Structure 1
Amino acid sequence: MKKEDYGKISIETIAKQGHVNVIAELDDFIVSKKPAATGEYSFDFKHPHIVEGIAFAFCIRGTAKVKINLTAYDVAENSVLIIMPNYIIQIVAQSADLQIEFLFFSFDFISTIRFTTEIGHVAKTIEQQACLHVDEIAFGELLSVHGLIVKQYQKQIAYREEVVKNLLYALVYQILQLYAINKAKGQDSRLNHKEEVYVKFMTLLFTHYKTERSVQFYADKLYLSPKYFSKVIKEANGRSVPEWIDEMVVMAAKALLKSSDLTVAQIANELNFANPSFFGTYFRKRVGLTPQQYRQK
């Protein structure tokens, strides 16, 4: 693979691998034909990867600890991962028998579908919980639709794409239904104040990490004093606000260093650092390597 293809997960990069278990006949939609291990794909998931598209991944077997943006999820059999565009994903640990099925598509592929649910609401729902643990029956129903999509995608007949899109439409709503069920079950265990502030902070951080790295900014957004805001976040998860900001920025920097041929200066500019030297000092202090050393590692 070319250097610019390493470290990002896109429909194009997966299609180029020519994996026998993947159907990639359309430019903006690919689907797995059967379960496969993550090691069968040419991605080093130990490093953060930027996902350029929407993905549904179904854990068929095994376990893993997966970081999506800054949140760690325990993945097991009957788990569903929902990944939105520009999410950063990293597999921290996985069992030897981990196997997944997946669908991967661009927003353009489903842009002609008229969702009754506002797309912003969908994105916000998923952002708060990118991994669902469902029962065996519900998981089987999701896989059944996945199987129908595979069968239809393999047919060289009229209206193939239209049928695939409508099956995907059904799958999206099945997943949203599971979110609604989870929410209903959890009505008696609403977030406490600290947890609510933490969730809102993480949502803001993912939106603004490239341009805003001060405690004051996020405190102001949440209408809290910096001192109180810092205290709440520390008590909610044991880490300080600057630590969370640094981790998000470093993850994004790592992904850009591995996922593009942008120069270090261009990455520094992308992440809103004053100059490449300042970016280099910031990165080395937190990673133990210069940006160039990390890229070549």
Structure 2
Amino acid sequence: MMNDNNEKKLDYDFFIGKGLTEYSDGDIMVLDNINASSMEGTVKVDMVLMIYCIKGRLQGEMNGKVHLAKAGDVVICLPSSYLSNSMMSPDFECKIIGFSYKSMQNTMQMTRDALDLLAYVAKNPVVHLDLERQALVSKYYAIIAHKIKHPHGYFHKEIMHGIFQCAAFELCAIIAPHVEYSNDGGSMKQANLLFSKFMEMLNQNDGKTYPVKKYAEELCITPKYLSFISKSVSGKTALELIHEFTVKAIERYLKHSNLSIKEIADRLNFPNLSFFGKFTKSHLGVSPTEYRRQQSMKKEK
């Protein structure tokens, strides 16, 4: 049994620093296995980990509850989960995909149904796969392994993300029938309901720079309470989430549209070009013009 009182974090930087990844691109990583020392003591997971057990057994406590996974099972660890008293059989083998929280948001979009599904996974992190599903997951990993060994220069990251998203949604499809979905009159906590509405509004507004106050007024709550809900559910404030959607829209327009810089600034509701330029530089590291130039150079290679 591995048990000490030192808490460590399992996050993107940890795995990169240990040189354990077979693939990583800043949002998603792939590990061929995990060593016992990584799981010693009390461990806080600061990303989404999907552990597919190929051989042997893995047992441990997640958030105070003991779980056992064997060959053919997938263990899903959500951000802010605590793992302790972990034990692996000597023959334990696994494959692991890790998602940053941002990547998970981009994949799933935090709708009410997604929140219900995540709430179910938090309580039931071990997904048992039948033989057909095991074969399907193995095929996904075979494709991923092939793309890692034979990367293509064009759209490699986008292709990898597409494969990962498909694999994640396959798992969601397995889990979904077991979830009791909430509705407006159901048992969903008010905070989650308000947060899901907030996320729906962000999706509909497609990156426009509306202030927190506007969203709060539409939800009939105070800006302070909206940020409290946001932080509680997602780990990020309402303003941080608004900015994430805006940055994503800026990247999309600068990469894939012929809109002028001013047209993009106007479309995203920035008050002026100067403010748009400062915002873009603070989040992307360069001016809008320079970012577009860099993307054009990448396409020409």
> TM-score w.r.t. structure 1 length?
0.53
**Deviation, structure 1 residue 93:** 2.8
Aligned pair partner of 1:173 in 156, 169, 174:
169
Q: Per-residue CA shift, 1:163-212, capped at 9, x if unaligned?
A: 1222122112111111135569xxxxxxxxxxxxxxx9xxxxxxxxxxxx
- Determine the structure 2 residue equivalent to 1:150: 145
**Deviation, structure 1 residue 91:** 4.2
Indicate if the aligned counterparts of 1:31 and 1:150 stay in contact, CA closer than 8 A. no
Distance 2:24 2:70 in 1: 30
Residue 55 (1) aligns with residue 54 (2)? no
% same residue: 14
- Determine the structure 1 residue equivalent to 2:262: none
Distance 2:58 2:104 in 1: 29
Q: Per-residue CA shift, 1:66-100, capped at 9, x if unaligned?
A: 21111111111111100111111124333111111
**Deviation, structure 1 residue 117:** 5.6
What secondary structure, in the 3-state scheme, does the structure 2 residue paired with 1:157 have? Answer: coil
One-letter amino acid of the counterpart of residue 163, structure 2: L
Equivalent pairs, count? 175
Q: Per-residue CA shift, 1:5-39, capped at 9, x if unaligned?
A: 971111111111123xx22441222102x4x3533
Distance 1:167 1:102 in 2: 14
Change (3 A) 1:112 1:88: same
Two-structure CA RMSD over aligned residues (Å): 2.8
Distance 2:83 2:52 in 1: 15
Distance 1:37 1:123 in 2: 24
One-letter amino acid of the counterpart of residue 16, structure 1: G
Query: 1:109-188 to 2 correspondence within 5 Å?
Result: 109-113=103-107, 115=109, 118=112, 119-154=114-149, 155-182=151-178
Aligned pair partner of 2:63 in 63, 69, 90:
69
Residue 7 (1) aligns with residue 8 (2)? yes
One-letter amino acid of the counterpart of residue 168, structure 2: V
Change (3 A) 1:80 1:140: same
Q: Per-residue CA shift, 1:216-244, capped at 9, x if unaligned?
A: xxxxxxxxxxxxxxxxxxxxxxxxxxxxx
**Deviation, structure 1 residue 110:** 4.0
Change (3 A) 1:139 1:182: farther
Distance 1:27 1:158 in 2: 17
Indicate if the aligned counterparts of 2:50 and 2:75 stay in contact, CA closer than 8 A. yes
Change (3 A) 1:114 1:86: closer
Residue 38 (1) aligns with residue 32 (2)? no
Query: Higher Cα Rg: structure 1 or 2?
Result: 2
Gaps of 5+ in 1: 185-199, 201-297
Distance 2:102 2:79 in 1: 12
One-letter amino acid of the counterpart of residue 129, structure 2: V
Indicate if the aligned counterparts of 1:67 and 1:90 stay in contact, CA closer than 8 A. yes
